[in-house]
Structure 1
Amino acid sequence: MLEKAGKSNGLKLRFLFGKGVVDIILFLEYKGKARYSEIKKERYVIGDRSLSRTLKKLQEKGIISRAALPTFPISTSYSLTEKGKAVAKHLKELALELS
């Protein structure tokens, strides 16, 4: 039973430690809100397509929210949800534990 629980949690956590995910979460925690272009400029060692997929996955998991800004051309802003803020807090605590 513990093995199954560990495997299940491992699968859930695997996404968080994918390329650029932690960096994006911590960047949004620092910045508050950021447009796609600002996140893209940081690069985080991932290409445009991967960045789009990662942002979409973070949104699906309820970690970030996406808002279309009423500008021309339309731009998109991303920010952490309450769940995302909690995740960022835990990531920072984990980093402190490991240092």
Structure 2
Amino acid sequence: MKNHENCSQFWDILSLIGDKWVVATIGILSDGPQRYNEIKRQIGDVSQRMLTRTLRRLENRGLITRRILNTIPIGVEYKLTPIGRTLVKPLDSLFEWAIKNADKIESITKEEE
């Protein structure tokens, strides 16, 4: 937040990684390449439309790659790009911070209500 010239870039990225499906997808792909149905199964309650939209969004931003597999039926595999891999550690840190502070934040929120 030191350089105000880059604020719009920061907010743009924050809006991307603030999406729960984006975070879940990056977390799943941090373990290695995954097929579409594997990602969907691991996330659980995401709709096909939302997962497809999320994967396209990540691919358009250069955070994942999509590879068509020469299988029957044809499969699609997704993988984090090198720049996408750089997001894993910050997201892990944010996750740890959220778990560590969730009770404190919840109690403060209840006090304010």
Q: Per the shorter chain, which TM-score range?
A: 0.7 to 0.9
SS in 1 for 2:91: helix
SS in 1 for 2:83: helix
Q: In structure 2, do the counterparts of structure 1 residues 83 and 75 end up closer, same or farther at CA, with 3 Å as the change threshold? A: same
Q: In structure 2, do the counterparts of structure 1 residues 44 and 15 end up closer, same or farther at CA, with 3 Å as the change threshold? A: farther
Taking structure 1 as the reference length, what is the TM-score of the superposition?
0.84
Corresponding position: 1:89 with 2:113: no
In the alignment, the residues of structure 2 paired with residue 21 and residue 85 of structure 1 have an alpha-carbon distance, to the nearest angstrom, of 13
SS in 2 for 1:92: helix
Q: What is the deviation of 1:71?
A: 0.3
Equivalence map 1:2-41=2 (5 Å): 2=4, 5-30=6-31, 32-41=32-41
> Whose RCO is larger (CA < 8 A, sep 6+)?
1
Judge which range, 63-72 or 85-94, deviates more: 85-94
In the alignment, the residues of structure 2 paired with residue 43 and residue 27 of structure 1 have an alpha-carbon distance, to the nearest angstrom, of 8
| CA RMSD after TM alignment | 1.9
In the alignment, the residues of structure 2 paired with residue 34 and residue 8 of structure 1 have an alpha-carbon distance, to the nearest angstrom, of 29
Number of positions where the alignment pairs a residue of Structure 1 with one of Structure 2:
97
Q: What is the deviation of 1:15?
A: 1.4
Percent of pairs with identical residues: 33
4+ residue stretches of structure 1 with deviation over 4 A?
A: none
Question: Which structure 1 residue ranges, 5 or more long, are not aligned?
Answer: none
Question: Which structure 2 residue ranges, 5 or more long, are not aligned?
Answer: 101-113
